[in-house]
Amino acid sequence: MKKFVFLILILVGSLACGQNFNSNQFEKYAANQDSLFINAYNKRDIKTYQSLLTDFLSKYNGLSGADQKAYAGRLSNAYYNLCCTYSLLDKKDMAMTYLKKTIASGYTNYSNLKNDPDLNKIRNLNEFKTLVEPLRKTGDYLYILKKAGKYNTGDKRAIPKFTYQSKENPNLVSLRKSFKLDSIAGEGNDISKMINLMQWIHNLVPHDGIHNNPVVKNAMSMIAECKRENRGLNCRGLATVLNECFLSMGFKSRIVTCLPKDSLKTDTDCHVINVVYSDLLNKWVWIDPTFAAYVMNEKGELLSIEEVRGRIINNQPLILNPDANWNKKHSQTKAYYLYNYMAKNLYLLECPVNSEYNMETVEAGKVISYISLLPLDYFDQVPDKTESNGPQTKKVFYKTNNPQVFWQK
């Protein structure tokens, strides 16, 4: 369970700079401190854990307000593991003290609090129930998602049609030739080619969820910069690179931002994956380069985001490919990846309208349009269209409740 909590932090996006520690310094310190916390937890060493926590708090409190907010997950994780340690030692009063601190620092994972065996000795306390039950509406991700199954196929709001750049575009031709993508994709069917390309990107560029992506956001430039600076990309960067590889091979492909409901406006985490249209299956297919993940039904058939979401809501079988992993360091399980992390982030979906090379690089006079698919349960349905004017690039956002329009072929 400690790794389960830690992995959520891996996916957090960009961070501001701190006052005493900058974000890079604090991230390195916090990562090391986390391993020391886990070691003390494993040994049930309260004295060492308390000393580590005091040192952590002295540095955390020196961060800027923005960085404290960004790293709140680190703080709640530290409190949570100490709560677990006290619970395992049957020190109920101290366990409850740190459970309160855990929740006060922003921890909302209701499902984990209800199921982590470390908390068995305090779970039946009335005080525990009083603290935890209010989190269900914001932290029980399956509960939230299952209330969001209804859409409106009659929604006729005007939104633009999705477009996909031709593989004949000179930039896409260059990408295909430079990296010998035909050889990487192989001679199999379209599903085989999609998976081979996903695995190639997953192994070529590591995931880095802490830092911003490069300023120039196209596959050729980002791959070169990652190699030159020995760096990785966050989930959006990886999906962008893979998207352009798919387009260069003639596949229709999108990046999809998967977002939580987040009625409290406190969840800074989302996840970005790809969907690729398979002519063989006559549907969109879920492809996730961050975790080298795809999802199947009980017959072994690859599924779309729409199908996975529906199956989670309706308690139907799902299979995660067994080699799904994060940076070849942590294997992914169906329980964590689908029923916790993605259950949280499948509430609301958003795609750029025009899928093309250099899609999200900021340029003077550029306009980037997005479409969001909202369930009827969502609390923020209007306005139908919003605009965001940056110093160079303008962004336009459209909303729909109609999945047939959003997943148009």
- Closest of 120, 371, 136, 119 to residue 263, by C-alpha: 136
pLDDT of res. 24: 73
The verdict on whether omega for the bond into residue 170 sits within 30 degrees of 0, i.e. cis, is no
pLDDT of res. 21: 62
* Continuous H helices in 105-189: 110-115, 126-132, 136-139, 141-146, 170-178, 181-185
| Contact by Cβ (8 Å): 258, 273 | yes
pLDDT of res. 85: 97
Residue in the block written with tokens 């996903």: 198
| Contact by Cβ (8 Å): 278, 290 | no
Mean pLDDT of the chain: 93
Percent pLDDT > 90 in the chain is: 84
Q: Residue 259: in which H helix or E strand, if any?
A: strand 253-259
Residue in the block written with tokens 């196929």: 153
| Contact by Cβ (8 Å): 237, 217 | yes
pLDDT, tens only, 106-148: 898 898 899 999 999 999 999 999 999 999 988 899 999 999 9
Q: Is the pLDDT score of 9 beyond 60?
A: no
DSSP-derived 3-state class of residue 335? helix
pLDDT, tens only, 61-74: 999 988 898 889 89
Backbone angles phi, psi at 288, to 5 degrees: -125, 100
pLDDT, tens only, 194-249: 999 999 999 999 999 888 999 999 999 999 999 999 999 999 999 999 999 999 99
Cα 380 from Cα 82, distance rounded (Å): 37
Record the tokens describing residue 87, joined without a space: 């619970």
Q: From residue 270, give the alpha-carbon distance in Å to each of 263, 323, 344, 370.
A: 14, 22, 9, 16
| Contact by Cβ (8 Å): 350, 373 | yes
Mean pLDDT of the 332-340 span: 95
Residue in the block written with tokens 């940076």: 327
pLDDT of res. 3: 40
What DSSP letter does each residue of 320-332 carry, written as one string? E-TT-EETTTEE-
Q: Is the pLDDT score of 369 beyond 70?
A: yes
**Helix, strand, coil percentages, rounded to 5, for the chain:** 45, 15, 40
Q: Is the pLDDT score of 346 beyond 50?
A: yes
Length of the chain (residues) = 409
Q: What separation, in Å, do the N-terminal and C-terminal C-alpha atoms of the chain show? A: 40
Mean pLDDT of the 312-322 span: 98
Widest CA span of the chain, in angstroms? 67
What type of residue sits at position 93? D
What type of residue sits at position 111? S
| Contact by Cβ (8 Å): 354, 369 | yes
Backbone angles phi, psi at 194, to 5 degrees: -60, -45
- Closest of 18, 97, 99 to residue 59, by C-alpha: 18
User: Residue 8 — very low, low, confident or very high, per pLDDT cuts 50/70/90?
Assistant: very low
The half-sphere exposure of 67 on its side-chain side, counting CA atoms within 13 A, is 20
As a three-state string, the secondary structure of 264-278 is: CCCCCCCEEEEEEEE
| Contact by Cβ (8 Å): 347, 148 | yes
